[in-house]
A and B are shown apart, each in its own frame.
Chain A
Amino acid sequence: MMMIFGIPAPLLFGQLLLGLINGAFYAMLALGLSIIFGMLNIINFAHGALFMMGAFAAWVLLHYLGIGYFPALILSPILIGIFGIVLERTLISQLYKLDHLYGLLLTFGLALVIQGLFRNYYGSSGMPYDIPDALQGATNLGFMYLPIYRGWVVIAALVVCFSTWAIIEKTFLGARLRAATENPAMVRAFGINVPRLITITYACGVGLAAFAGVLAAPIYSVNPDMGDNFINTVFAIVVIGGMGSILGSIITGFGLGVIEGLTKVFYPQASATVVFLVMVIVLLFLPRGLFGKTA
């Protein structure tokens, strides 16, 4: 058997792949948080709950309406995005003139309500969601077996993350968005509907979370607490990457996932805390984060 640093190669690559998959979720969630923060100046504490709702939406679509995985991948983000629009218009928009901490408290409360309701109706045990037929099985890469679904998750996440980056950096809508982030009053003076732009941004960020939720459904069981397991780590990743950089969130998300995977190989006891340790080191030397611009 091939050995690398005294570790069997399949084990090393297996953990690296797991790390990449976790990294894919970190990246998508951190990206959503980052674009929402850019426009709304709030940290969306409900992000984990909306991620979970995305997975549940896919499950409900399959079990009650017989709608499969691939349509759910489109439908669920749209449904949750609409839910996000309702939240933003009715509740979150009330707080823009106040201290940003109130936005945080409000979304935290929303997360509790959403999670509590799902726990009431679905219990905490979790429901299985099968991998779609087209993505079942594994392929031999020569140095390891790659389960096709896992490879698909990484590729889908990369595509979505970089399309988001491209939309924001390269399109006219993105240019408006960036302008409104810089100086909303000025953009408004040019006759651009900034509140609508804010709503669209929130819906897109939430949609990203829901998309990640659907991708996660076949890997982790669909349960009300699935967002919780991710979101605290994602907050640490956002601190590490620094807010305000789209590429920064993507790179940090994937990077930290890989670091976490490698830690599982070399020092498993620290695998749960390594992301937080990295955050501590970054805070000591680069308090603004790796890619952050603002204090």
Chain B
Amino acid sequence: MSASATPVALGAARPGLFGFTRAQAVGFLLMLAAIVVLPHVLYPIFLMRILTAALFACAFNLMIGYVGLLSFGHAAFYGMGAYVCAWTLKFWHLDAAAAILLGGLTGGLLGLALGYLAIRRSGIYFAMITLALAQMVYFFCLEAPFTGGEDGIQQVPRGTAFGIFPLHQDMAMYWLVAGIFIAGFLLIHRVIHSPFGQVLKAIRENEPRATSLGYRTMHYKLIAFVISTFLSGIAGATTSVVFGIATLDGVTSARSGDVVLTTLVGGLGTVFGPVVGAIVTTSMENYLAQFGSWVTVTQGAVFVVCVLAFRRGIVGEIAAKLRLSL
């Protein structure tokens, strides 16, 4: 997918903190300001949906945007993270922060196992293999006793975070979600702009060449996959705490498709694309929910339009206009 990625090197001459260029630093500050101001204007619940969707999309973008591997099974990690988090919250009465972390670790461990299989192939095969593996996880969740089958795990109490912050109020929950999102966002940015991230990009551009330079490309791809699936698990777990529920919905291939669409709309391989994409797709789902299956039709149509005419995504187009790396 190298054609779509914005030239990351552009304007990256003097990377500052976390490897932000000046434009990216401005974008990041604007995003921070929005995170602080918006809950006083819009529903915090709606904003939390956007933030978790954005974190999920950022995690997914790490694979497609910087390693060039399209995973069609990221819902497996998102959904399993949600299940484990909800289960430990409800039955072990774990601290919410610990439960979310446990959800992330579940996603990462599952990512290690499935990634070990999937990275043996690339391109279209990688997409099909991840899709099939995720389908296996779906059937497992359908049968396994701890997931509650079709009902899912319901009425999960939010509990407290770090032992002292009760989360039953939406604003308290919001700050936790915002903190998790920002930490995840910065982690990904840091990874991309580390020497490790440079090797990932080298693999994306020309894998045989990276191999010939002595890099064990398989290891790099697998580590990136584990980071991506860990954060997907965190995103799923956080969602389950916010809504107090973890269901089969989280592990369906439709969910995997959602995150692909979100990232594609925002801009594959851009820093802020997944966030903008999450705003667009979450709002779209929100406003179209009353029209039933028109949501699916619209999502499909957006896919088609994006692929045919709008491959750089919203942020990618803006970045290209302004000749910036965003």
A residues with a Cβ closer than 8 A to B are: 37, 42-43, 91, 94-95, 98-102, 104-106, 108-117, 119-120, 232-233, 235-236, 238-239, 269, 272-273, 276-277, 279-280, 283-284, 287, 295
What 0/1 readout, one digit per residue, does chain B (1-28) give for beta carbons within 8 Å of chain A? Answer: 1111000000000000000000000000
Partner of B132, one of A104, A236, A295: A236
Interface residues of B (CB under 8 A from A): 1-4, 70, 117-118, 120-121, 123-125, 127-129, 131-133, 135-136, 139-140, 142-143, 253, 257, 260, 264, 292-304, 306-308, 311
**Structural contact, B302 and A101, CB atoms closer than 8 A:** no
The CB with the most chain A CB atoms within 10 A, among B257, B297, B302, is that of: B297
Question: Can you name the residue of chain B whose Cβ is closest to the Cβ of A232?
Answer: B135
A91 CA / B305 CA spacing, docked (Å): 10
Q: Which chain A residues border B296 with CB–CB below 8 Å?
A: 112-113, 115-116, 119
Closest Cβ–Cβ distance, residue A164 to chain B (whole Å): 21
Q: Which residues of A contact B299 (CB under 8 A)?
A: 109, 112, 116
Write the chain B residue with the least CB distance to A124: B293
> Quick check: B140 and A99 within 8 Å, CB to CB?
no
Complex Cα distance, B132 from A112, in Å, reads 18
In the complex, which residues of chain A have a beta carbon less than 8 angstroms from the beta carbon of B301?
A: 109, 113
Q: How far is the CA of A113 from the CA of B296 in the complex (A)?
A: 7
CB distance from B148 to the nearest CB of A (A): 17
Interface centre among A37, A99, A112, A120 (most CB of B within 10 A): A112
Instruction: Looking at the assembled complex, report how far the CB atom of A105 sits from the nearest CB atom of chain B, in whole angstroms.
Output: 5
A117 to B257: give the CA distance in the assembly, Å: 18
Interfacial chain B residues near A119, Cβ < 8 Å: 292-293, 296
Taking a contact as CB atoms under 8 Å apart, the answer to whether A91 and B308 are in contact is yes
Interface of B is mostly: helix
CA distance A98 to B118 in the complex (A): 23
Cβ–Cβ contact A235 & B293, under 8 A = no
B121-A287 in contact (CB<8A): yes
Taking chain A's interface residues, is the majority helix, strand, or loop, or is none over half, making it mixed?
helix
> When the two chains form their complex, are residues A276 and B70 in contact, meaning their CB atoms are under 8 A apart?
no
Partner of B3, one of A98, A116, A269: A98
Shortest CB distance A28–B (Å): 18
Complexed CA–CA distance, A277 and B114 (Å): 12
Contact B70 A116 (CB under 8 A): no
* CB-based contact A120/B292 at 8 Å: yes
Interface pair B303/A238, CB less than 8 Å apart: no
When chains A and B are docked, how far (Å) is the Cα of A43 from the Cα of B130?
A: 14
Contact B300 A105 (CB under 8 A): no
- What are 30 of the A-B contact pairs (CB < 8 Å)? A42-B124, A43-B124, A43-B128, A95-B308, A98-B311, A99-B2, A99-B3, A100-B124, A102-B311, A104-B70, A105-B260, A105-B303, A105-B306, A105-B307, A106-B303, A106-B304, A109-B300, A109-B301, A110-B304, A113-B296, A113-B301, A115-B296, A120-B294, A232-B253, A238-B128, A239-B128, A272-B139, A272-B143, A279-B129, A295-B121
C-alpha spacing A235/B260, complex, angstroms = 18
Count of chain A to chain B residue pairs whose CB atoms are closer than 8 Å in the complex: 129
Which residues of chain A come closer than 8 Å to B308, judged between CB atoms? 91, 94-95, 106
Query: Complex: how many Å from CA A170 to CA B135?
Result: 37
Q: How far is the CB of A234 from chain B (nearest CB, A)?
A: 9
B80 → A minimal CB distance (Å): 15
Chain B residues with CB under 8 A of A105? 260, 264, 303, 306-307
In whole angstroms, how far apart are the Cα atoms of A29 and B45 in the complex? 43
Query: With A and B bound together, what is the CA distance between A105 and B313 in angstroms?
Result: 14
Instruction: Determine whether the beta carbon of A100 is less than 8 Å from that of B123.
Output: yes
User: Which residue in chain A gives the minimum CB-CB distance to B135?
Assistant: A232
Bound together, the chains give a CA A272 to CA B307 distance in angstroms of 33
Asked whether A287 and B135 contact (CB < 8 A) given A113-B301, A116-B293, A235-B128, the answer is: no
Residue of A nearest to B117 (CB): A283
- In the complex, which residue of chain A has the Cβ closest to the Cβ of B131? A235
* Closest chain A residue to B308, Cβ basis: A94
Q: A101 touching B304 by the CB < 8 A rule?
A: no
Q: What CA separation (Å) do A261 and B223 show in the bound complex? A: 38
Pairs A-B, 4 closest by C-beta atoms = A109-B303, A112-B300, A116-B296, A113-B300
Bound complex: CA A235 to CA B129 (Å):
8
If A116-B295, A277-B136, A279-B132 are given as contacts, then 4 extra A-B residue pairs at C-beta distance below 8 Å, sorted by A number, are A109-B300, A112-B297, A239-B132, A283-B118
- Most chain B beta-carbon contacts within 10 A, residue among A94, A106, A232: A232
CB of B257 within 8 A of CB of A112, answer yes
Give every chain B residue within 8 A of A120 (Cβ-Cβ). Answer: 292-294, 297
Residue contact B297 to A113, C-beta cutoff 8 Å: yes
Residues in B with CB closer than 8 Å to A101 are 1, 70, 123-124, 127
What is the bound-complex CA distance between A117 and B133, given in angstroms? Answer: 28
Q: Within the assembled complex, what's the spacing in Å between the Cα atoms of A131 and B142? A: 32
Residues of B within 8 A of A100 (CB): 123-124
Decide: A110 and B127 in contact? CB cutoff 8 A. no
Distance between Cα atoms of A100 and B69 in the complex (Å): 12
Pairwise interchain contact B120-A110, C-beta atoms closer than 8 A? no
How far is A233 from B114 in the complex, measured between Cα atoms in Å?
17
Nearest-CB residue, chain B, relative to A119: B293
Least distance between A122 CB and chain B CB atoms (Å): 10
- The residue of chain A having its C-beta at the shortest distance from the C-beta of B139 within the complex is A272
Closest to A42 in B: B124
How distant is B131 from chain A, measured CB to nearest CB, in Å? 6
**Contacting B120 at CB < 8 Å: which of A95, A112, A116, A283?**
A283
A102 to B118, CA, bound (A): 20
- Alpha-carbon distance between A119 and B124 when the two chains are bound, in angstroms: 28
Task: Specify which chain A residues have a CB less than 8 angstroms from the CB of B306 in the assembled complex.
Answer: 105, 109
In the complex, are the beta carbons of B132 and A102 less than 8 A apart? no
| Of A114, A239, A273, the contact of B129 (CB 8 Å cutoff) | A239
CB atoms of B139 and A273 under 8 A apart = yes
